Amino acid sequence: MQITVNGCRHSITPGTGVAQLRAELKDDAAVILVNGRRCLDSTQLHAGDRVNLLGSSSSYSPTGFDAMLRERHGTEVQQRLQHACVGIAGAGGLGSNISIALARAGVGHLIIADHDVVELSNLHRQQYFIDQLDLPKVEALSHTLYRINPQIQLELRHMRVERSNTAAIFGSARIMVEAFDAADAKADLVQSWLHLYPERPIVAASGMAGFGSANSINTTAPFTNLYMCGDGRSAVETSGSLCAARVAVAANHQAHAVIRLLLGLDPVKDG
């Protein structure tokens, strides 16, 4: 039967378990993910499973990523990031880039919701890959995030975010990120979040289509606890298609605003 191992198709005999696969392919793998989740050596494999064999025992330990970040950021900064819970609504061009930036920075807990599956038309700007076509975006993204930090805590919701389920999905997030595509969905989420949780910041985005200068994308604070990233005007309807680099500029403005908020810094200007 067919499975996927580290992104490549692989044939195994039925009854093969994780331990046997590791012994055959990468006997120094320190972390094994099956369908995006860490698993035990006794786990049995099934047709269509996506397996990641990660790291080597000499260069990787389960707490290695955290230790590496403490060394670079300092313990105080790292503890704030590691203990944070951030909600991300939408896992497209903005949400996939934001999630990856926050995971790399060591943010410990992400809640990600999106109703879509990966399509070919996403690959020009979103952080997905050919071998992930037709997978729910939240699942495909989780595979990438676990490959960055196997210790990250992810809550994945493959569903449409609506006013009625916002609190149920994102209630434990202290900071919210709006990463939708449609203007009315963006406006709806900002309203419902600040209505539900006026004291919890939301970082939203508007205006990143086309090939305008990257320098016109910035971060502003128009309301109490609302931070806006983008140029505020370049709509996909009027400015043309979305380009990977410019969308990622806006996405990383959002991710960095989140990181500055977590560190008690003003996202708009240096103190």
Interacting residues with other proteins (CB under 8 A)? 90, 92-95, 179-184, 186-188, 190-192, 194-195, 198, 204-209, 222-224, 226, 228, 232-239, 242, 247
Question: What's the burial of 201, exposed, middle or buried (CB within 10 Å: 0-12/13-18/19+)?
Answer: buried
- Span between the terminal Cα atoms of the chain, in Å: 59
CB of 40 to other proteins, least distance (A): 38
Is the CB of 16 or the CB of 225 nearer to other proteins? 225
Is the CB of 24 or the CB of 162 nearer to other proteins? 162
CB of 54 to other proteins, least distance (A): 30
Is the CB of 146 or the CB of 197 nearer to other proteins? 197
Is the CB of 108 or the CB of 207 nearer to other proteins? 207
- Tokens coding 36: 């995006």
CB of 128 to other proteins, least distance (A): 15
Q: What angle do CA 25, 29, 35 make, to 5 degrees?
A: 85
Helices within the chain (DSSP H only):
18-25, 64-73, 75-82, 93-105, 137-148, 166-170, 183-196, 236-239, 244-262
The helix/strand/coil state of 61 is coil
CB of 195 to other proteins, least distance (A): 5
Helix axes 64-73, 75-82, angle to 10 degrees: 130
Q: Rounded to 10 degrees, what is the CA torsion of 226, 175, 243, 140?
A: -160
CB of 205 to other proteins, least distance (A): 6
Is the CB of 45 or the CB of 242 nearer to other proteins? 242
